[in-house]
Amino acid sequence: MSIKRFESGARMSQAVIHGGIVYLAGQIGEPGEDAATQTRAVLASIDRLLSEAGTDRSRLLQATIWLADMADFAAMNEVWEEWLGGENAPARATGEVKLATPDYKVEIIVTAALP
């Protein structure tokens, strides 16, 4: 089976396709913005990368969401649920972690199936 990489660098690729599955790297928003704004930016990045890979959010399989502070859980969830539109929710885990810098509040990692 072939492997296709998108936006690759020396450290990582933003997306990788193998075996009919698209794996995205953790996506982050602009540092310093609030959690809801960062979540919107993250989800826009996810939409863009999934589109480049030939799929979309309706085919999400799994999501891992990292929050710098669980106090942002409700704000992130409000944006997340609006983005999903009440359909095709993936298996999901959410946890609190120390992100790369204190300015990052949300990081989301997803996998999706190709059509």
Can you tell me the distance from the alpha carbon of 16 to that of 40, in angstroms, rounded to the nearest whole number? 22
Smallest CA-to-CA distance from 28 within 76, 70, 91 is with 76
* CATH number reported for the structural domain that contains residue 94 in this entry: 3.30.1330.40
Amino acid identity, position 28: I
Q: What is the mean pLDDT of the chain?
A: 97
Q: Which pLDDT tens digit goes with each residue over 37-48? A: 999 999 999 999
Strands (E), 2-90: 3-8, 13-18, 21-24, 27-28, 60-67
pLDDT at 1: 79
Strand partners, 65: 94, 108
Helices 73-84 and 35-53 sit at what angle, rounded to 10 degrees?
Answer: 40
Mean pLDDT of 93-105: 96
Tally of structural domains, the chain: 1
Task: Find the mean pLDDT for residues 2-12.
Answer: 96
Give the DSSP H or E segment for 107.
strand 106-113
**pLDDT tens digit string along 56-96?**
999 999 999 999 999 999 999 999 999 999 999 999 999 99
> How many whole angstroms separate alpha carbon 41 and alpha carbon 30?
7
Which range of residues forms the domain containing residue 37? 3-113
This prediction's pTM: 0.96
Predicted local distance difference test score (pLDDT) of residue 32: 85
Report d(CA 14, CA 32) in Å as an integer: 22
The single-letter DSSP state of residue 1 is -
